[in-house]
Amino acid sequence: MPLITYRKALNDALAEELLRDENVVLLGEEVAEYNGAYKVTEGLWARFGSKRVVDTPISEAGFVGMAVGASMLGLRPVVELMFWSFSFVTFDQIINNAGCVRYMSGGQIACPIVIRGPANGGTNVGATHSHTPENFLANTPGLKVVCPATAYDAKGLMKAAIRDNDPVMFMENTLLYGEQWEVPEEEYLIPIGVADVKRAGTDISLIAHGRAVLTCLKAAEILQAQHGIHAEVVDLRSIRPLDEETLLASVRKTHRAVLVEENKPFCGVDAQIASLIQEKAFDELDAPIQRISALDAPAIYSPPLEKIQLPTPDRVVQKALSIC
Amino acid sequence: MEQSALGRGGDSPVVGSGNNGQECHPFSLANQEGTLTARGGVRDGSCYKGFRGVGFQNDYLCLLCGKICLEFPPNLENLNAMMETRSFADAEINRCLTAEEKIQFLRQMFRIRRFEQTSLKAYNAGKMGGFLHLYTGQESVAVATISLLGPNDHVITAYRDHGHALVCGMEMGECMAEFFGKATGCSKGKGGSMHLFAPDKRYWGGHGIVAGQTPLGLGIAYALKYKGIRGCCLCYLGDGAVNQGVFHESLNLASLMSLPVIYIIENNGYSMGTSLARSSAFKQMLAQRAEGYNIPWDHANGENIYEMRAKTHAAIERAHEESRPTVLEIATYRYYGHSVADANARKYRTPEEIEHYKTYHDPLRLWQKRLVDEGLLTEEQAAAIDHEARAEAEAASRFADESPFPTEADIFADVYSEVDHPVGEGPHGTHFFN
pLDDT, tens digit, 9 for 90 and up, residues A234-243: 999 999 999 9
Q: Which domain holds residue B393?
A: 88-402
Residues of B in contact with A144 (CB under 8 A): 416
Contact B168, B108 (CB under 8 A): no
Q: Same domain, yes or no, for B281 and B315?
A: yes
Q: Same domain, yes or no, for B60 and B175?
A: no
With a cut of 70, say whether residue A22 has pLDDT above it: yes
**Cα–Cα distance for residue pair B291/A52, rounded to 1 Å:** 29
Q: Kindly state whether residue B410 falls inside one of the protein's structural domains.
A: no
Q: Give the residue on A whose Cα is nearest the Cα of B250.
A: A62
With a cut of 70, say whether residue B380 has pLDDT above it: yes
Residues 103-162 of A with CB under 8 A from B: 103-110, 141-142, 144
Contact B56, B277 (CB under 8 A): no
Q: Which of B224, B250, B432 sits opposite A62 (nearest CB)?
A: B250
- How distant is the alpha carbon of residue A244 from its chain centre? 17
Residues of A in contact with B431 (CB under 8 A): 141, 193, 240-241
Q: Same domain, yes or no, for B299 and B335?
A: yes
Residues 349-368 of B with CB under 8 A from A: none
CATH number of A196-323: 3.40.50.920
Q: Give the residue on B whose Cα is nearest the Cα of A93.
A: B212
* A131 noted as active-site residue: no
The per-residue pLDDT of chain B, averaged, comes to: 84
* A60 noted as active-site residue: yes
**Cα–Cα distance for residue pair B384/A216, rounded to 1 Å:** 76
Q: Are strands A196-199 and A231-235 parallel, antiparallel or unpaired?
A: antiparallel
Residues 165-194 of A with CB under 8 A from B: 165-166, 191-194
**Cα–Cα distance for residue pair A218/A308, rounded to 1 Å:** 16
Q: Same domain, yes or no, for B125 and B76?
A: no
How many other β-carbons are positioned within 10 Å of the β-carbon of residue A201?
Answer: 20
Question: Residue A311's pLDDT is what?
Answer: 98
Task: Classify the C-alpha dihedral B163-B165-B168-B172 as positive or negative.
Answer: negative
- Asked: is A3-182 a CATH 3.30.420.10 domain? The reply is no
- For the stretch B78-135, pLDDT in tens is 443 344 435 899 999 999 999 999 999 999 999 999 999 999 999 999 999 899 999 9
Rounded to a whole number, what is the largest CA-CA distance in chain B?
Answer: 81
Contact A115, A94 (CB under 8 A): yes
Looking at beta carbons, which pairs linking B418-426 to residues 24 or more positions away fall under 8 Å? B418/A164, B418/A165, B418/A166, B420/A107, B425/A191
Query: Minimal CA–CA distance to A156: which of A41, A24, A6, A3?
Result: A6
Residues of B in contact with A108 (CB under 8 A): 187, 197-200
Q: Does B256 touch chain A (CB under 8 A)?
A: yes
Would the CB atoms of A107 and B214 count as touching at under 8 Å? no
Q: Give this complex's ipTM.
A: 0.96
Residues of A in contact with B188 (CB under 8 A): 106-107
**Cα–Cα distance for residue pair B389/B114, rounded to 1 Å:** 6
Task: Name residues whose C-beta falls within 8 Å of residue A17's C-beta, 6 or more positions apart in sequence.
Answer: A24, A76, A78, A158, A159, A162, A163
Question: Residue B87's pLDDT is what?
Answer: 81
Q: Same domain, yes or no, for B69 and B110?
A: no
Task: Classify the C-alpha dihedral B94-B100-B102-B105 as positive or negative.
Answer: negative
Q: Kindly state whether residue B126 falls inside one of the protein's structural domains.
A: yes
Q: Same domain, yes or no, for B255 and B368?
A: yes
Segment B346-357 shows an average pLDDT of 90
pLDDT band at B345; cut points 50, 70, 90 = confident
Q: Are strands A144-146 and A168-172 parallel, antiparallel or unpaired?
A: parallel
Please tell me chain A's helix, strand, coil percentages from 3-state DSSP, rounded to the nearest 5.
40, 20, 40
Q: Same domain, yes or no, for B17 and B146?
A: no
Contact B264, B141 (CB under 8 A): yes
Q: Same domain, yes or no, for B312 and B258?
A: yes
Query: Minimal CA–CA distance to B400: which of B169, B192, B134?
Result: B192
**Cα–Cα distance for residue pair B330/B305, rounded to 1 Å:** 11
Query: Minimal CA–CA distance to B154: which of A274, A74, A144?
Result: A74
